[in-house]
Structure 1
């Protein structure tokens, strides 16, 4: 999902915030949790067709404050300001409040400040129940999503939290997901984006997987320390090679060989044709084999 929102700056004489105009970028200072809900809000605003001036008028806040919120500039926004915007846009308040609170903690806001912000807004959030089809989607994909996230985030609690965040984001933009070419593919991109926003990147923009390699070896209780050391070195090389695969090949490799999914289930989870998964799998295995041969030609020789 590529977030977009109307641009605030307009040439004189033109209607304000025309749809399609290049949006102002989100501040690089906005944290991963902050961006999670801000991207969804910007996307909903752009899809709504509302201009910035119309949003300002309906929210009851100044143009400066609304602009700062949409760009992620300045201090982390208070809940009452955020709620005023999502109320205008028709964004569900319950998942949004969870995302807002998580981002507030990420921004190092104290719990007392968070509680005061929430207490100032007398709003009925309604039942904390997403649409039925969203519920079915969640139950179908939770296990595979969590296993995939755990490979990169290592910690099961962190993985579960990011998956829950993903489902909340999807709740915010569920209509967009249903209107997309494939709901599974739409959702997979959201999950992947949330995971990659939270892991270190190697030089060249590749995800850092060496810690995952070490965690994998640590599960093997081999008695011989020398054998364990050699296994760690070999795993580092393998995981480094995996991290450099193209995105789809990386995802297929992780789902197939680290999460244990068959190719049909992997295709369903990613929202791609079965033939695509099989092709990506073949290309990935060939690349990994050739890479390891170059690194250790003697060990890999038949």
Structure 2
């Protein structure tokens, strides 16, 4: 895989300028809405522009711009969103895809979305940076396999991965300038996956449905034996879901998704030595809490 170096340190503070930052994002903003609103706000803060500057560049009032940047009130139309995006020189195509997904989550129908998009002149085609294209193609398969293990749906997994790639595109300059690009990208992907995953009341992801998708149980003809095996695997996957985060990630990638152990460090952005140690501790924890066979079964690609 092509070496990348992309973020983990906090963003540097914006230059000292007149005015003040917008208020915090409204607490009731949905996850899909945040997916594009947070990068927009980050770009604004990094630019050093004030709300007055953004008002002058966009042509909209300060109250409307402030409302958009907080995510409060009605879901914003594409025209005002586009004006802010262009004022901040943000890639439009990935932002529009994220805006559309959030509009659907806000229960806007297809007619409303289409009419708002048609209010803006047609966009010129955009291509992500070559480094972004190379990176996303290299990690698409393992990222999708990981997402599928938690979401139990090819369509949902592919959408979450595409969403993560669009968010990376929006901040690609900061990504490649960071200390560990692959680690940053993995943490972003993981966060988007876990937002859509089922969880126990204690907050741990619930991996038990994965027991129904293993090659192991699918090869058992006897129905009673098959359900017994599913029960065993459900208990095992429940134990996996309670591992610390890095141990969980490595275990899912290696044993549920069947990813080669040598490829995992480049996927999760950890060194080979640390990844080996994480894997060792995960196996020890599972063997100490749940007696099982060495391989719990690989996720069935179908």
TM-score by length of 2: 0.86
Residue in 1 that maps onto 2:48:
49
CA distance, structure 2, for counterparts of residue 210 and residue 62 of structure 1: 50
Point out where structure 1 has 5 or more consecutive residues left out of the alignment. Answer: 7-13, 297-302
Deviation at 1:240, TM superposition (A): 1.0
Deviation string, structure 1 residues 180-218 (Cα, Å, up to 9, x no partner): 111111111111111111112212221121222233379
Once the two structures are superposed, the pairs formed by residues 67-86 of structure 1 within 5 Å of their partners are 67-86=66-85
Alpha carbons of structure 1 residues 255 and 190: separation in structure 2 relative to 1, 3 Å: same
CA distance, structure 2, for counterparts of residue 39 and residue 250 of structure 1: 27
Aligned residues: 283
Once the two structures are superposed, the pairs formed by residues 203-282 of structure 1 within 5 Å of their partners are 203-216=201-214, 220-282=218-280
Residue in 2 that maps onto 1:283:
281
Runs of 4+ that moved beyond 4 A: 1-6
Contact kept in structure 2, 1:17 and 1:52, CA below 8 Å: yes
Deviation at 1:119, TM superposition (A): 0.9
**Secondary structure of the residue that 1:165 maps to in structure 2?**
helix
Contact kept in structure 2, 1:33 and 1:103, CA below 8 Å: yes
Residue in 2 that maps onto 1:115:
114
Alpha carbons of structure 1 residues 254 and 245: separation in structure 2 relative to 1, 3 Å: same
Once the two structures are superposed, the pairs formed by residues 91-102 of structure 1 within 5 Å of their partners are 91-102=90-101
Once the two structures are superposed, the pairs formed by residues 97-246 of structure 1 within 5 Å of their partners are 97-123=96-122, 125-216=123-214, 220-246=218-244
Deviation at 1:15, TM superposition (A): 4.3
CA distance, structure 2, for counterparts of residue 282 and residue 78 of structure 1: 50
Contact kept in structure 1, 2:264 and 2:275, CA below 8 Å: yes
Q: Does 1:16 align with 2:15?
A: no
Residue in 2 that maps onto 1:64:
63
Contact kept in structure 2, 1:214 and 1:232, CA below 8 Å: yes
Measured on the aligned residues, the alpha-carbon RMSD in Å equals 2.4
CA distance, structure 2, for counterparts of residue 212 and residue 179 of structure 1: 37
**Secondary structure of the residue that 1:222 maps to in structure 2?**
coil
Alpha carbons of structure 1 residues 24 and 242: separation in structure 2 relative to 1, 3 Å: farther
CA distance, structure 2, for counterparts of residue 30 and residue 15 of structure 1: 28
CA distance, structure 2, for counterparts of residue 229 and residue 24 of structure 1: 53
Deviation string, structure 1 residues 246-284 (Cα, Å, up to 9, x no partner): 111110001111111222211001111011110100111
Deviation at 1:5, TM superposition (A): 12
Residue in 2 that maps onto 1:9:
none
Point out where structure 2 has 5 or more consecutive residues left out of the alignment. Answer: 1-6, 293-302
Deviation at 1:229, TM superposition (A): 2.2
Contact kept in structure 2, 1:252 and 1:280, CA below 8 Å: yes
Q: Compare relative contact order (CA 8 Å, sep 6+) and give the higher one, 1 or 2.
A: 2
Contact kept in structure 2, 1:4 and 1:42, CA below 8 Å: no
